[in-house]
Structure 1
C-alpha cells in the first residue's frame, strides 16, 4: 500500500513537471536548485565526512568507523576496509552530492563500507565522457588511498547506473583492474530511447515521461559533438565483475535493465537481475518508509559483502 501511495503521488506531482521540461527544455530551468535544496539532509551516524577535490570535480569521502576492532591502544577503532564508489543519478543534468547523500550512506551502512560520492561534471556544459572521466578519477583516488580493487564496489542509480558500467569499461580500456562488483539501481544503459518507448508497460512509469528520454538523447548528442558516447549495452562487457541490477517492473528503464542483464550473461559475466513489483524509479531512496526499499538495500549490502569477501574465502580454502 505504501508503494502504491508513493507511486501515485510521484505520478501526480513530479511526472507532469518532468514532462514539461522534456517538451520545453531551456537553460532557464534551475537544474542545480534540487541539489542546493537538499544540502541540509543529514547523514547516518558512525561516519566521518571529508570534502575532497578530484581532478575536475568535488567529492565527499564518508569514512565508516567499525567499533570493536582495535589495531592499537592509540587507535581503538578501525575504518572499514571496503569502499563503495557511488555515482548519483539525475539524467546527467541534475541532482548531486546532497540529493543522494542519504541513499549512498544507507547502502554503505548495509555493506559495512566507507563511501566516496562523486560530484561529476554534467550536461549540457560537459559531455558524458567527461562525467565518466570524473568517476574514473574517483576510482583512482580510492586506489591511491590504499584500497585494492577487490575491496572496491562501484554503484549508482539511473544515470549513475550508466556511469557505473561506463566507468568499469573505461577502467578496462586504461588497463586498471576491475572492482569486486558493480551495483546498478534502475540503470539507464542505452541512450537510444527506441526500445523503451516501444514497451507498453513503460508508459505506466510513475516518474519518467517519454519526452524526457527524447530530450536527454538530443542534449547528450549535442554535448558529445563528433565523439558520440557508446552506451554500456553496446560495449565489450566480457571481463566485468559480478553485477547486481535492481529495477521496478513498471519503470520506463526496465527495458534497459533487462537488456543489460541479458548481454552481461551472454558475455559470461555473473549477473543478478532483481525485478521489484510495481516499485517506482530508484525506490531504494525511500527505505525509511517503504519495507520493499529497506529489503532491497539489505540485499545490496549482502551482495557487496559477499563480493568483497570472496578472496578471503578463497585464501582460507587453500
Structure 2
C-alpha cells in the first residue's frame, strides 16, 4: 500500500465519526461531503455553465480539449441525501476528459426534501428533454457513483420500460443498487475507512419511504437486466457496497441478458475515484472507465458532433 493510500485512508477514518453522528444533521453532513469533493481539482481549462433542463438545475461541463465525440450524463453520489452537481462536476470533468466527451451533471432532488420516485422521474425528464433538443442516444452514455450509480441503472431500466431510446452504455462506480439489503440491515461489514453498513441502513429508509424496497427503481440490482445498454462497472474490494456490484454482475452473466465489464479494485474503498487528484489508482480507474465507455460509441466519422443542447 502506497503512502498516498495510507494517508487518504487515515483521513477518511478520522472523518467517519462526523458522518455517522446524528447530531451533525443532514446539513452538516452535506458540508462534510462537499469538503471531500472539493479536493478534486478540475482538469486544467475545464469550463462550466449552470443551466436548467426540464426544470432541473444542471452543471454543463466542457473539457479543455473541446471534445465532440459524445456526451456524458453524470449522476452524483451521496446516499440520495448528500452531494451536488457542483460538488461532483470536477469528477465528471475528469471522466468526460478521459472519454473525450462533454458532460451534464443534474442536481436531482435529494432526501429529506423528497423521496423516491422524484429523483428518478426528474432524470427521465432531463434525459427526455435532451433527446427532444437533439441529443443522439447513440453517442451518449450515462454514468454515476454510489447512489448515482444505482440511479443510473434504475434510469436505464425506466427508459427501456417506457420505450425511450437508451444510451450507448452505462458507467457504474461503486453502485449502491440494493437498498432492500439495507432496509433489512443485512449488509456485511468490510474494511472501508469511511462507509459502514449502519450508514446505508440509516439512509435507505429515508429514500424508500413507504415503497417496496425491492422495486427496480429503488434496488435495480434486483431488476430485469434484459435489453439494457452495455454496462462498464467498477467496484472496490474494501467497500461494503461492493456486494451490489457483484449482484449486478451475477444477474447479467447468469442470464446473458446484458453485456457487463466489471473491474474490482482490491484494497481500495468506496468511491476512491474522488481522490483522482492524488491517487494513481483513482486516475487509472477514471482513465480506464472513460476509454471503455467511449469504446461503445460509433466511430467519430459515423456521426456528427454531439454537444448537449444548451438551456438557459
Q: Is TM-score (shorter-chain normalized) higher than 0.5?
A: yes
**Counterpart-to-counterpart distance in 2, 1:170 and 1:89:** 19
Q: 1:226 to 1:282 in 2, by over 3 A?
A: closer
Query: Which residue number corresponds to residue 309 of structure 2?
Result: none
Task: Kindly indicate whether the alpha-carbon contact (under 8 Å) linking 1:25 and 1:215 is maintained by their aligned counterparts in 2.
Answer: no
Query: Which residue number corresponds to residue 261 of structure 2?
Result: 272
Query: Which residue number corresponds to residue 218 of structure 1?
Result: 205
Counterpart secondary structure, 1:49: strand
Counterpart secondary structure, 2:142: strand
Match of 2:28 among 22, 30, 34: 30
Q: Alignment length, in residue pairs?
A: 296
Query: Which residue number corresponds to residue 172 of structure 1?
Result: 160
Task: Kindly indicate whether the alpha-carbon contact (under 8 Å) linking 2:73 and 2:105 is maintained by their aligned counterparts in 1.
Answer: yes
Counterpart secondary structure, 1:289: coil
Counterpart secondary structure, 1:61: strand
**Counterpart-to-counterpart distance in 1, 2:213 and 2:244:** 25
Unaligned stretches of 5+ in structure 1? 68-78, 314-318
Task: Kindly indicate whether the alpha-carbon contact (under 8 Å) linking 2:226 and 2:258 is maintained by their aligned counterparts in 1.
Answer: yes
Q: 1:4 to 1:39 in 2, by over 3 A?
A: closer
Query: 2:270 matched to 1:281?
Result: yes
TM-score by length of 2: 0.85
Task: Kindly indicate whether the alpha-carbon contact (under 8 Å) linking 1:50 and 1:60 is maintained by their aligned counterparts in 2.
Answer: yes
Counterpart secondary structure, 2:28: coil
Alignment of 1:75-224 (within 5 A): 80-193=68-181, 197=186, 199=188, 202-222=189-209, 224=211
**Counterpart-to-counterpart distance in 2, 1:41 and 1:254:** 23
Give, in angstroms, the shift of residue 64 of structure 1.
Answer: 4.1
Give, in angstroms, the shift of residue 278 of structure 1.
Answer: 1.0
**Counterpart-to-counterpart distance in 2, 1:30 and 1:59:** 23
Give, in angstroms, the shift of residue 223 of structure 1.
Answer: 6.3
Q: 1:191 to 1:40 in 2, by over 3 A?
A: closer
Task: Kindly indicate whether the alpha-carbon contact (under 8 Å) linking 1:241 and 1:270 is maintained by their aligned counterparts in 2.
Answer: yes
Q: What is the root-mean-square deviation of aligned Cα atoms in Å?
A: 2.8
Q: Whose Rg is larger?
A: 1
TM-score by length of 1: 0.83
Q: Which moved further from structure 2: 302-311 or 234-243?
A: 302-311
